[in-house]
Amino acid sequence: MSKRDLTFSLGCKDGFPIFIGYFPTAMAFGLVVKNLGLRLWEAILFSVTNFAGSGQFLAASLIGSGALLAELFISVLLINLRYTFMGAEVARRLEDGITGMKRALIAHGTTDEVFSISLMNPGRLPASYMAGLELTSYAGWVSGTALGFLVGLVLPPALQLAVGVTIYAMFSSLLAQEFRKKGLKVLLIAAISAGTHSVLTLLLGVKIGWSFVIAMLLASFIGSLIIREES
């Protein structure tokens, strides 16, 4: 990408496609947490403080299954661990002089899509550009959550229950993205993880939260052995 004047307005413009992508997914999340019994302000606070689609859907699934707080914490921590590395790379690319609270806010607003768009720009990243990019994306996620919850108040119960399939759709889409990049090895790892989770919960009686943690750690370990990043 050629060098551009990275202003706040350009950040908003670059963030608008992310807004469009986040909004319907966030609506589905709002419906899911509404069915879990959360109130509107709790659903909004969930998205305001987290801003992590896959992590939030996972948390909602574990809450619905009655997982313990420790199980919930470890599972969400593991699935969101990638943001540590994304945040470090974005921080390295920020303009000099951006410190303290501004860096913390930029880190909070860094998602997979924000990370990809921001690093398409050559050179250093101004705080104003990152603010426009992240606020626009953030607005799509939070407003979508709120609207999804409100829509859930008028939808028939049967249709609301059907929205639960969005959790599986989101993780299937993540799997499909990795499959396109790395091929059948990804499906093998996913199958091992799913099989481990099923054996632990159905045959050994392990609680769903802990079985998820064990399956995730096992899949991560196996993935590190059989998948090598291309140079």
Which pTM value belongs to this model?
A: 0.78
pLDDT, residue 104, reads: 93
Task: Indicate the pLDDT class of residue 213, thresholds 50, 70 and 90.
Answer: confident
pLDDT band at 230, cuts 50/70/90?
very low
Q: At what angle do helices 8-35 and 112-119 cross, to 10 degrees?
A: 170
Which pLDDT tens digit goes with each residue over 134-150? 999 999 999 999 999 99
The C-alpha angle with vertex 82 and arms to 78 and 88, in degrees rounded to 5, equals: 135
- CA-CA distance, 60 to 38, in Å (whole number)? 10
Average pLDDT (173-189) is 77
Q: Using one digit for the tens of pLDDT, what is the confidence trace for 41-65?
A: 999 999 999 999 888 988 998 888 8
Contacts of 66 (CB under 8 A, 6+ apart): 208
pLDDT recorded at residue 231: 37
Q: Which amino acid is at 86?
A: M
Check residue 38 and give its pLDDT: 94
Nearest to 57 by CA among 35, 86, 40, 41: 35
